[in-house]
Amino acid sequence: MANHATSDGGIPPRDAGNRGLTRVMTLGGTYGTRNYTVKGLRDQKGKRVLVETLPFSPEEAAAAEEAGIDTMKVRFDPAQPEPAAAIRKAAPNTFMAFSVPLVAAASPEEAVRLGYDAMKLGADAIMCQWSPRFIEAAAEAGIPVQGHAGLVPRKSTWTGGLRAVGKTLDEAMWIYEEIKTLERAGAYAVEVEVVPEELLAEISRRTTLMTSSIGGGGGGDIQFLFAEDILGNNPPPYPRHSKQYRNMYKMKQEMQRERIAGFTEFINDVQNKKFPATEHVIKAPENLISEFLEKVGKSS
């Protein structure tokens, strides 16, 4: 993507052109550079599958950006915005949709306010499980919104619990209508969770929304997987739709064993008078202690 001049005379980073970054101003009023804009993402629909993750730490976000991830989702808690802000800072050039809590907005007006709070923090979009009415209000306010369809965990009581959705004709039609309703409400994308791959592929062809697949196989425009699954941060069992490319959990266990061993050896050395050794202490200059004792003795 080309870089664009800005009214404030800002100049993109030196490598912006080489990395294909675009100069942007966020809805919160901050200038920056991004790998994608909403338009840029939508221009990719039907051309190639994008890759998306949700990091849980600044280190994971920085690594994902360095590796070349296309987009990220970031959990956003308006009561504790610092973690999301730190992740935004760690990956400043990657398009990010802040995932806002379902129960944090109880009206369209609150939805807009929550969206604005996320955008002020540097979000490029918000991701939500809101009703179309709330999404319509946010979109009308200029906030790019990604909705949620298929298995929506917090609403799973309506679909029979935490299970695959869309394996019957009625459910398949319901998912399709849900996505079309989000489209009419003004969303730019939708996360579609744990549905048949073939169904998602057909729906993706019939909506202008970018479909982000998690547990929907290769049927979406975006392939989404949590960073904790990619990195293997947790022990088994793993979600069926996930793949572990590393085993950070094993590494963390090994690190913990090393921590325990280090503390144990330190305790033993102190108890057995092996630490501190000569090389760890400062020796008093010659005559210092005798002069000190003489001085102390005279003054006591």
| Shared domain check, 207 and 114 | yes
What value does the mean pLDDT take over residues 108-120?
A: 98
Does residue 245 contact residue 227 with C-beta atoms inside 8 Å? no
Query: What's the confidence (pLDDT) of residue 15?
Result: 39
What value does the mean pLDDT take over residues 197-220?
A: 98
Range list of H helices, the chain: 38-43, 58-67, 82-90, 108-120, 132-140, 169-185, 197-205, 227-230, 248-271, 288-299
Percent of the chain whose predicted confidence (pLDDT) is above 90: 91
pLDDT band at residue 19 under the 50/70/90 scheme: low
Q: What is the pLDDT of residues 73-97, one digit of tens each?
A: 999 999 999 999 999 999 999 999 9
What value does the mean pLDDT take over residues 111-118?
A: 98
Query: What's the confidence (pLDDT) of residue 1?
Result: 35
Query: What's the confidence (pLDDT) of residue 9?
Result: 36
Q: Is the pLDDT of residue 39 over 90?
A: yes
**Cα angle at 50 between 48 and 52, to 5 degrees?**
170
| Shared domain check, 289 and 154 | no
| Shared domain check, 217 and 107 | yes
- Let me know if 286 is a catalytic residue: no
Q: Which domain holds residue 264?
A: 252-299
| Shared domain check, 57 and 28 | no
Q: Cis (ω within 30 of 0) for the bond into 153? A: no
Q: What is the DSSP string of 183-222?
A: HHHT-SEEEEES--HHHHHHHHHT-SSEEEEESSTT-SSE
| Shared domain check, 172 and 259 | no
| Shared domain check, 282 and 139 | no
| Shared domain check, 49 and 188 | yes
Q: Which residues have CB under 8 Å from 204's CB, separation 6+?
A: 211, 219, 220, 221
Query: What's the confidence (pLDDT) of residue 297?
Result: 86
Selecting among 52, 171, 183, 193, the annotated active-site residue is 193
Percent of the chain whose predicted confidence (pLDDT) is above 70: 93
| Shared domain check, 183 and 40 | yes
| Shared domain check, 15 and 93 | no
What value does the mean pLDDT take over residues 63-81?
A: 97
| Shared domain check, 240 and 198 | yes
Return the CATH number at 200: 3.20.20.60
Query: What's the confidence (pLDDT) of residue 300?
Result: 65
Count of structural domains within the chain: 3
